[in-house]
Amino acid sequence: MEQLLALQACDQEIRRLRKEEADIPLRKQQIEARLNAHQEGLAQAERALLEARTRIKQLEAETEAGHQQIQKFRDQQLQIKTNDGYKALEKEIATTQQKIRGLEDQTLTTMEAMEEAQGVVQTRREALAKEQERVAQEIQALEARRGAIAEDLQRAEAERITKAADIAPDWLARYERIFAKQHDAAIALVERGTCGGCHMKLSPAQILDARKPDTLTLCVHCSRLLYLAP
C-alpha cells in the first residue's frame, strides 16, 4: 500500500501538470480577449471622433450654403421692383439666418464633442499600448511555463514508470482503474471510521481489512481503495 500511495502522489502530480498544460490555451485566449477589448474600445473612440469630424464638415458646408443663399437673395432684392417682393425676400433671408445660427450652435456643440472624443482616443491609445506590453509579457510567461511543464511531465512520467515497476500487476491494475475514474485519488485514508474520499461511515469489518497491508479493501460507497495509517 505504501508503494501505491507513492505512485498515487506521482499520478496526482502528472494529472495536475496535464491539466495546467491543457489550460494554457484557454488562459492565452483570456489574455488576448483583454487585448481585443482594448482594441475594440479604441476603434469605437476613433469612430466617434471620425463621426464628429464628418459632422462638422457637413455643418460647415450647410452653413456656407446658407450664406450663399442669403447673398443670392440680396442680389435678387436689387432686381425686385415691388415692395411685397422685397419683403418676401427679407423674410427668406431672416429664415436662412436663423437656420445658420442653428447650424453654428450645432457646430460648436459638435466641436466640443470632437475635443472630448480626441481625449478619449488618446487615453485609449495609451491604455492599449500598456495592455499590449502586459499581454506580451504574460504570453511569454505562459510559453515559458509550457516548456517547464513539459520538462516536469517528462520527469514525473519517468518516475512513475520506476514506481509502477515495483508494484504487483494485479494491485497496479486495480489501482489504475480506480484512479482513472476518480477526480482526486484512488486511495482514501480511513479517518474516524469513515472513508476519507466520500466521508461515508465504514463497517468495522472494512476498517479491520484496511489494516491488513497485504489486502486490497474497497469502500462500498465510492469504490476507492481504503488505507489505514499504522
Using an 8 Å Cβ cutoff, are 164 and 7 in contact?
Answer: yes
- pLDDT tens for each residue of 108-131: 999 999 999 999 999 999 999 999
Cα(164)–Cα(8) distance, rounded to whole angstroms? 10
Count CB neighbours of 81 within 10 A: 6
pTM above 0.75, yes or no: no
Determine the pLDDT at residue 107.
96
Name the residue type at position 147: G
Cα(160)–Cα(72) distance, rounded to whole angstroms? 95
Domain ranges of the chain: 13-166, 171-227
Instruction: Show the cell assigned to 135.
Output: 499581454
Cα(101)–Cα(107) distance, rounded to whole angstroms? 10
User: Is 90 exceeded by the pLDDT of residue 28?
Assistant: yes
- pLDDT tens for each residue of 160-199: 999 999 999 999 999 999 999 888 899 998 988 999 889 9
Using an 8 Å Cβ cutoff, are 163 and 10 in contact?
Answer: yes
| Fold (topology level) of 13-166 | Helix Hairpins (1.10.287)
User: Is 80 exceeded by the pLDDT of residue 230?
Assistant: no
Among the residue ranges 45-49, 149-153, 219-223, the one predicted with the least confidence is: 219-223
